[in-house]
Amino acid sequence: MGTEEDRKKFVDQVRKGCRIAARFRELGIRPHGVVRVDSAASVTEWNKDPKGNTRKIAATMKEAGKVARDFGERLAAEGEICWGGMHSWKNMVNLLETIGMPRVVGFQADMAHTLLYVLGYNAPEHRLVPDQFHWEPDRFHAAMKKVTKALRPWTIDFHVAQNDSTVLGSGTHEKTGHHCLATDPNGKLNIPATPAIGCAMTPAR
């Protein structure tokens, strides 16, 4: 989003990151990996013109994707509810489809953040669990399977982290989730007991 100059600066920063990442790979200290990106935009700003702003973000990320491809790198868009145009599972899929570079620009599934998609923070219309929801395993897992099925074709980076489902705002961010220790008693992910969810989000080869 932003001005044309803002978008050029975004692509320039991706170029710098990809240059460094590629050099590390050449040196043998980074045999694999991706470069993470986000829309660098708030949900509030995105909401002023959803279709137009999604087109802008997609165009910018497509240019960034071309840069990454030239360096032999891939970009992973972070699944976080605070980034405009990426703040719900449906918006994330729509953005990736609009970019249209599945082997170059994909999705980063961070379980601590991605699980918040089911709650519809910042996008209530895309909520997948009832308002009166108390983290019943059957309901939670059904919702997570729907999210992972939608995002699975785009997933190129994945890591597990715990989340207690609380959200906060900071600076220009909308509500955003945060990580907590895997052993946190308030954690909502039973990490070793959810193989179906984990397998669904394993990165595509």
What would the pLDDT profile of 25-45 be if each residue is shown by its tens digit? Answer: 999 999 989 999 999 899 999
- Please indicate, yes or no, if residue 205 is contained in any of the structural domains: no
Q: What is the pLDDT of residue 194?
A: 55
164, 188 in Cβ contact below 8 A?
Answer: yes
At 193, is the secondary structure helix, strand, or coil? helix
Domain that holds residue 160: 4-200
Using the structure block, give the residue that is written with the tokens 């961010």.
Answer: 173
Pairing status of strand 75-78 against strand 35-37: parallel
Long-range contacts of 192-199 (CB under 8 A, 24+ apart): 194/141, 194/144, 196/141, 196/145, 197/111, 197/141, 197/144, 197/145, 197/148, 198/111, 198/160
108, 158 in Cβ contact below 8 A?
Answer: yes
Show the tokens assigned to 43.
Answer: 């949900």
Digit-coded pLDDT (tens) for 49-66: 999 999 999 999 999 999
- Please indicate, yes or no, if residue 96 is contained in any of the structural domains: yes
Q: What is the pLDDT of residue 8?
A: 95
Show the tokens assigned to 141.
Answer: 């897992």
107, 90 in Cβ contact below 8 A?
Answer: no
At 182, is the secondary structure helix, strand, or coil? coil
- Residue 170 pLDDT more than 60? yes
188, 160 in Cβ contact below 8 A?
Answer: no
At 1, is the secondary structure helix, strand, or coil? coil
CA distances from 131 to 81, 98, 159, 190, 197 (A): 18, 31, 28, 22, 22
Per-residue pLDDT band for 171 (boundaries 50, 70, 90) equals: low
- Please indicate, yes or no, if residue 70 is contained in any of the structural domains: yes
- Please indicate, yes or no, if residue 174 is contained in any of the structural domains: yes
pTM: 0.89
Of 53, 29, 109, the C-alpha closest to 77 is: 109
Which DSSP helix (H) or strand (E) runs through 6? helix 4-27
What is the arithmetic mean of pLDDT over 69-83? Answer: 94
Per-residue pLDDT band for 204 (boundaries 50, 70, 90) equals: very low
Q: What is the pLDDT of residue 97?
A: 97
Considering its fold, how many domains does the chain have in total? 1
